[in-house]
Amino acid sequence: MSLLSLTDVHSFYGHIHALKGISLTVEEGEIVTLIGSNGAGKSTTLRTVSGLMHPGSGRVEFDGRDISRMEPHAIVAAGLGHVPEGRGIFPTLTVRENLEMGAFTVRDPEAVRERMAYGFELFPRLKERIDQHGGTLSGGEQQMLAIARGLMMQPRLLMLDEPSMGLAPVLVELIFDIVTMLNDKGVTILLVEQNALMALSVAHRGYVLQNGELVLNDTAANLRRDPLVRTAYLGMA
Ligand SMILES: Nc1ncnc2c1ncn2[C@@H]1O[C@H](COP(=O)(O)OP(=O)(O)O)[C@@H](O)[C@H]1O
Ligand SMILES: [Mg+2]
pLDDT tens-digit series, residues 174-192:
999 999 999 999 999 999 9
pLDDT tens-digit series, residues 137-186:
999 999 999 999 999 999 999 999 999 998 999 999 999 999 999 999 99
The amino acid occupying position 223 is L
Does residue 120 register a pLDDT over 90? yes
pLDDT tens-digit series, residues 62-106:
999 999 999 999 999 999 999 999 888 999 999 999 999 999 888
Give the residue-averaged pLDDT of 194-210.
94
DSSP string, 103-138: TTT---HHHHHHHHHHHHHH-HHHHHTTTSBGGGS-
Give the residue-averaged pLDDT of 19-39.
97
Ligand nearest to the CA of 39: 1
* Distance between CA atoms of residues 11 and 29, nearest Å: 27
Residue nearest to atom 6 of ligand 1 (CA): 13
* Distance between CA atoms of residues 237 and 233, nearest Å: 11
Amino acid 75: pLDDT:
97
The CATH code of domain 1-79+156-168+186-237 reads 3.40.50.300
Of 198 and 53, more confident: 53
Does residue 14 register a pLDDT over 70? yes
Ligand nearest to the CA of 209: 1
Mutate to test the pocket of ligand 1, among 6, 33, 35, 44 (most ligand atoms within 8 A of CB): 44
Does residue 237 register a pLDDT over 70? no
Q: How would residue 34 be classed by pLDDT, with cut points 50, 70 and 90? A: very high
Domain limits, the chain: 1-79+156-168+186-237, 89-154
Q: Which atom of ligand 1 is nearest to the CA of 36?
A: 22
Q: By the 8 A CB rule, do 150 and 158 touch? A: yes
